[in-house]
Amino acid sequence: MSGGFPVYPLLFGIYPALALAAFNISQIDLSSTYRSILVSILLVLALAGILRLALRDWVRAAFLSFLLLVLFFTYGHVYNLLKSGGILGASPAGYYLLLAAWAALAGGATWTAVRKKSNLAGFTLPLNLVFALLLVFPLFQILRHELRMHAAPAAAASGISQPADPDIYYIILDAYERADTLKVVYDYDNSAFVDALAGRGFYVAGCSQSNYAYTQPSLTSSLNMNYLDALSVTSNTQADPLLQQNAVRKFLKSRGYAVVAFETGFSWSQWEDADFYYRYRPDAGAINGFEALFMDTTLLRLPLDALQAKQAATYGIIPHNRILYVLDTLKTLPGAVRSPKFVFVHLVVPHPPFVFSPTGGLVTAGAENATSLEGYRNSVTFINQAILQVVDRILADSKTPPIIVIQGDHAAPLYHSPLQRMTILNAYYLPGAQAPLYPTISPVNTFRLILDSYFGQNYPLLNDVSWYSPTNREYAFEAIPSGCNHP
């Protein structure tokens, strides 16, 4: 072992999960990767240990472990590449051929490693160095993201909470469409829900449009009460920290508000440093979304394909149960958390995956179909009923009448024009305020109006502008005029 102990199989074994986590770091909770990394480490140690006992040579055992791990961790990538390119085809023969090729490569790797004439010691040092260096890049990406997301907020000005300050609930229903467009695109009559909100004292803005077509720019704008150009934001990388440590949160914190937030499944909308942070804890035996994605890239793709129906249920059950957990927890907050409090809720519904029946049961068939008419309509029916129950509990149990905003961040996944992508539900419960609400109010003005009306601030309302952008260029904006005929 003149080149040192061969640790490169372990370094390589950690890399696939870590690299996948770094690539998706803005879309996942880092804690969802821990089990994948731990299992990868245990797999490497077990494989290397067994081969060491069989070959009686750490150098050969390490080299063979490395070659077999390369095959294990790359199978799913090659499988997906060939499948997406139509090379495997619909016949099972293509898949058997790929598996046979992998078996042949495994046999060749074994023959190479066990040959006594093979001089493998010279590979140890360079492979140790290569994979140690390779790990630096994903570790840097993850560390940079985590530091940016969890940086200590700027010191807020000291302030004294006024007992009469109302609790504020900012509830985002992801991809919730405006009633008129719901009728046109989804053939769904939402008038009963709109009337139910109005009957509880909400003002429902009948001509409201989102300011941006995607969640991150939309929430960054609304929570900082300004447009992205004024905030110098041109990418999600710049938007994410402003979404976390936003102007509204900082102002309310300075007034003595407790900040309450929830796990969403998306790191950029999870305020884990909130005063009260609620995390859904699934069954320890269930695999999470990252783990399913990681397994898809490995040789475990084989049993996953064989259990496709079970896999679909695995994808659906966690977002389904997480949303139910948030809804149930919201009902307890008036008595569970001190007032005044600012409650930020990002519910990924009726946005896909469509995992809800109209009554809230788990639906797995077609859960990833983003254009499903039935799936979206069922999700709307469910969340309508659930949100009204939440509102009733909050109103009944709050000692001081609260502020409640229920708002879409952008419109539904199925739309026929840029305008239809921008129309949103936008409902305000603003007790005791003479707020100048109007039909076309957009999210950028939501907290300008609230802070002026309840806290004596001076935020003049901005022009309500909708900036549409296509899926592949989220920051290439085009102004979309209002197309609303409602009063």
Q: What is the pLDDT of residue 163?
A: 45
Q: What is the pLDDT of residue 283?
A: 59
Q: What is the pLDDT of residue 160?
A: 37
How far is 192 from 183, CA to CA, in rounded Å? 13
Q: What is the pLDDT of residues 215-231, one digit of tens each?
A: 999 999 999 999 999 99
Task: Tell me the pLDDT band of 120, cut-offs 50, 70 and 90.
Answer: confident
Higher pLDDT, 148 or 248: 248
Burial 458-483 (b: 16+ CB within 10 A, else e): ebeeeebbbbbbeeeebbebeebebb
Q: What is the pLDDT of residue 155?
A: 34
Q: Which two tokens stand for residue 166?
A: 């109302």
Task: Indicate the average pLDDT of the chain.
Answer: 87
Q: What is the pLDDT of residue 286?
A: 62
How far is 43 from 45, CA to CA, in rounded Å? 6
Residues 151-160: what's their mean pLDDT?
Answer: 39
Give the lowest-confidence range in 192-206, 216-230, 282-296, 319-333.
282-296
Q: What is the pLDDT of residue 178?
A: 96
Residues 387-396: what's their mean pLDDT?
Answer: 98
Listed in sequence order, the DSSP H helices in 263-401 are: 289-296, 301-306, 308-336, 373-397
Burial 399-413 (b: 16+ CB within 10 A, else e): eebbbbbbbbbbbbb
Q: What is the pLDDT of residues 442-458, one digit of tens each?
A: 999 999 999 999 999 99
Q: Which two tokens stand for residue 123?
A: 């590979």
Q: Are strands 258-262 and 341-347 parallel, antiparallel or unpaired?
A: parallel
How far is 480 from 483, CA to CA, in rounded Å? 9
- Residue 21 pLDDT > 80: yes
pTM above threshold 0.85: no
Residues 277-299: what's their mean pLDDT?
Answer: 76
Q: What is the pLDDT of residues 46-76, one digit of tens each?
A: 999 999 998 888 888 898 999 999 999 998 8
How far is 454 from 473, CA to CA, in rounded Å? 38
| Helix (H/G/I), strand (E/B), else coil: 207 | coil
DSSP 141-174: HHHHHHHHHSPPPPPPPP----TTPPPEEEEEET
Residues 331-340: what's their mean pLDDT?
Answer: 92
Domains with residue ranges and CATH for the chain: 8-149 (no CATH), 168-480 (3.40.720.10)
Higher pLDDT, 359 or 288: 359
- Residue 310 pLDDT > 60: no
Give the lowest-confidence range in 148-162, 181-195, 394-408.
148-162
Q: Is 200 buried (19+), middle (13-18) or exposed (0-12) by CB count in 10 A?
A: middle
Percent helix, strand, coil in the chain, to 5, is 55, 10, 40
